[in-house]
Amino acid sequence: MRDTQRPSITYVLASDVGQDRLGARVRFAYEGETLNDEGVVRHEDGRKEIVLRYGTPSEMTRRKLVTLVRNIVKSAKSSGEKRIILSLDDLYGRCSSRMVSDPTDLVSLVITNIEMANYEFVAYKSKPKDGWKFLEEVVFVGTVRFMDGIGHGRLVGNGVNLMRDLGNTPAFDLTPRRLAFEAELASTGLPVKFRALGVEEMQTLGMGGVLGVGVGSVNKPCFVIMEYMAGPPDEKPIVLVGKGVTFDTGGISIKPSEGMEEMKLDMLGGASVIAAIVTAARLGLKKNVVALVPAVENMPSGSAIRPGDVLTSLSGKTMEVLNTDAEGRLILADALAYAGKFYDPRLVVSVATLTGAACVALGTHASALFAADDAIAATMTLLAEESGDYVWRMPLWEEYDDEVKGAVGDVRNTGKSGRYGGAIAAAKFLEKASVITHPWAHIDMAPRMTSADGDHLAKGAAGDPVRLLVRLLERYTA
């Protein structure tokens, strides 16, 4: 990947900053105070302030706190301010216990969101004469109780931004092999075992889904395997599976040209699980984690698969391809089968920009969550709410089984009702094609592929659900 041209932010915790006048101080508006436009206010005596409104106690929520923090960064950046001073003592005093659990939680949330809001993808842009408007230093005013969350928040934020960098990198520079290389690079120096299977190894194993989808591109497919085993040897791992379609043209069932440029982001599920396992290792979590990424490019060509072709998955199930643009589920079926075959996971989570139907269903503010198990769904929903990567559960009822029954093969890769219930049919396909028997949750992150209005994040990859995955690795106990 190219140089990101982003400086890393220095965080300072001070009990008192006295008359420090470098940078802008963040202050919350007094009751009745009228606010000017966003941005930094300069006083005649040289003081600079960022004044924002903090909601009334009854209307403030954790969600609004996230927005508030991002707004601070946005204000600083819009005025080219590189240093801000923020009182954590003040902020913590305003937060109710249902918003943040303790000082560490607050600091981690604040820093993660500062990192996310500071992010812009400028790797392919020329540096302006007056430089980039990134924040460089944040001075926190607060007691030592806020110390512990700083490192955590930064590592999580960096993990999210790693995923966004991978996603925003054009497909020309991020082929399947290149994605594998970046995953290896990110895990260098960490106790993460990296491996990538090539075409021949996948042929030996019988991964017909990945091979079939990848066969149309000159950029050969590969299968990334990352293992971070820092937990007790007898603890079953959590296996994260991420869709890594480095560019999705739709293949022979080619997509319309409008919006196709965003299809470089169709590997964000893969990038999320790579970022999550790397972050887990950086945090030194005492857990066993595996990340699997089937990486392919979906291209129309003389060698591409066609509608009507039947592929055999690693699971042994035959998959009838009715639409080559429903390719994500074909490669994920192999990966999920791999997870069951070579590990004995206590939980498998698949993450994928899988369906447009999930976007139609949920708009741009929540990823779709599928889990047959109510307890898993409840845990994931709770962790999602805490992390800021919001999800909404969708049904996986037996009534939908029929949608993916094949005529020529065991399963068909699009639902019989076409676009109706499309996200559900995709989840059903994964269930049936991979023959998954381990506890499983599936996140269709297509609605959260790019940042939404009101997120206060740079255009491009939004970063979901890296925070959720990290939190899951930290907290999941079943």
Active-site positions read 255, 329
- The beta strand positions in 63-155, using DSSP E, are 83-87, 137-141
Burial class (CB in 10 A: 0-12, 13-18, 19+), 230: middle
Instruction: Find the part of the chain contacting another protein (CB under 8 A) among 84-92, 168-176, 308-316, 364-372.
Output: 364-372
Distance in Å, CB of 244 to another protein, minimum: 24
Q: Of 72, 91, 100, whose CA–CA distance to 385 is shortest?
A: 100
Segment 75-94, which members bind another protein (CB under 8 A)? Answer: none
Task: State how far the Cα of 126 lies from the Cα of 136, in Å rounded to an integer.
Answer: 19
Question: What stretches of 81-206 adopt beta strand conformation (E)?
Answer: 83-87, 137-141, 193-197
Residues in region 189-248 near another protein by CB under 8 A? none
Q: Of 161-169, 203-211, 277-285, 362-370, which part binds another protein (CB under 8 A)?
A: 362-370
Q: For residue 238, what are the β-bridge partners?
A: 289, 347
Of these, 65, 215, 361, 377, which contacts another protein (CB under 8 A)? Answer: 361
311 is a contact residue toward another protein (CB under 8 A): no
**Binding to another protein (CB under 8 A): which residues in 387-406?**
392, 394-395, 397-400, 402-403
CB of 21 or CB of 365, closer to another protein: 365
Among residue numbers 407 through 446, which ones bind another protein (CB under 8 A)? 415-417, 419-425
For residue 393, the minimal CB distance to another protein (Å) is 8
Distance CA 36, CA 138 (A): 23
- Cα(first)–Cα(last) distance of the chain, in Å? 37
Structure tokens at 316: 């042994």
CA distances from 462 to 36, 145, 146, 246, 271 (A): 29, 31, 27, 17, 12
258 in contact with another protein (CB under 8 A): no
Q: Of 207 and 443, which has the nearer Cβ to another protein?
A: 443
Interface residue with another protein among 79, 87, 323, 364 (CB under 8 A) is: 364
Binder to another protein among 9, 366, 445, 469 (CB under 8 A)?
Answer: 366
Q: Does 357 bind another protein (CB under 8 A)?
A: yes
CB of 396 to another protein, least distance (A): 11
- Backbone angle region of 414, left / alpha / beta, with phi > 0 → left and psi within -120 to 50 → alpha: beta
**Segment contacting another protein by CB under 8 A, of 82-90, 122-130, 355-363, 465-473:** 355-363
How far apart are alpha carbons 33 and 15 in whole angstroms?
27
E strands, 198-281, are 222-229, 238-242, 244-248
Least distance in angstroms from the C-beta of 280 to another protein: 29
| Closest distance to another protein from the beta carbon of 375 (Å) | 16
* Size (the chain), residues: 478
d(CA 51, CA 37): 10
Please report how close the Cβ of residue 119 comes to another protein at its closest, in angstroms.
Answer: 20
Q: If you ran DSSP here, which 8-state letter would residue 128 be given?
A: P
Residue carrying the six token digits 């080619």: 254
Which stretch, 98-106, 376-384, 452-460, 464-472, contacts another protein (CB under 8 A)?
A: 452-460
Q: Which is nearer to another protein, 271 or 366 (CB)?
A: 366
**Residue 365 binding another protein, by CB under 8 A:** yes
Q: Which residues bind another protein (CB under 8 A)?
A: 63, 357, 359-366, 392, 394-395, 397-400, 402-403, 415-417, 419-425, 447, 452-454
